[in-house]
Structure formats: structure tokens, C-alpha cells
Structure 1
């Protein structure tokens, strides 16, 4: 079973708003540092994929 996980970025005025989406349903809000940490974890896990 594959679940689609996304980070949706919308603009709130001139500030970006990051939202964690799971299968199109909003799970929660993210900070900029949360998004960077998710990207780093994802890239780190790609190193070990065979």
C-alpha cells in the first residue's frame, strides 16, 4: 500500500505557509525548519536505498 505524502506551500500575504498533507488531508502545519529537516531525512535515506 502506497500513501501519498506532500508538503503544500501556500502564501499567506507575503509569508509562505507549509502544510503536511497525507492522501490530500491536512495533517498539520510545518515550520521552515521542519521542511528542511524532512528534506534532509529523505535525502539521507536515499543513500541507503539499493
Structure 2
């Protein structure tokens, strides 16, 4: 059961990363460079946690 929860959390993190990256891309110039940087830093932090099994 614990392994299943880990897999579900990893899948959720993957979805969050993909969705956020797509939103940043789709928004283009509507998002300030500072906001993009903050979001990209958070995405990278999430990727590191997700991949540190």
C-alpha cells in the first residue's frame, strides 16, 4: 500500500510539473520574467524531490 501511495504521489507530481510548464509556455508574455523564474525554480525543486526515490 505504501509503494502504491508513492507511485500515486510521483504521478501527481509529474502531472503538476507538466501542467505548470504548459501554463507558463501558453501564457507567454502575460507572465513577468520574475514570476516565470519563481515558477521554474519551484518546478525544479519538485522534480528533484520527485526523482529522489
Q: Could you tell me the TM-score, scaled by structure 1's length?
A: 0.46
More strand by share: 1
More helix by share: 2
**Quick one: higher RCO (CA 8 Å, sep 6+), 1 or 2?**
2
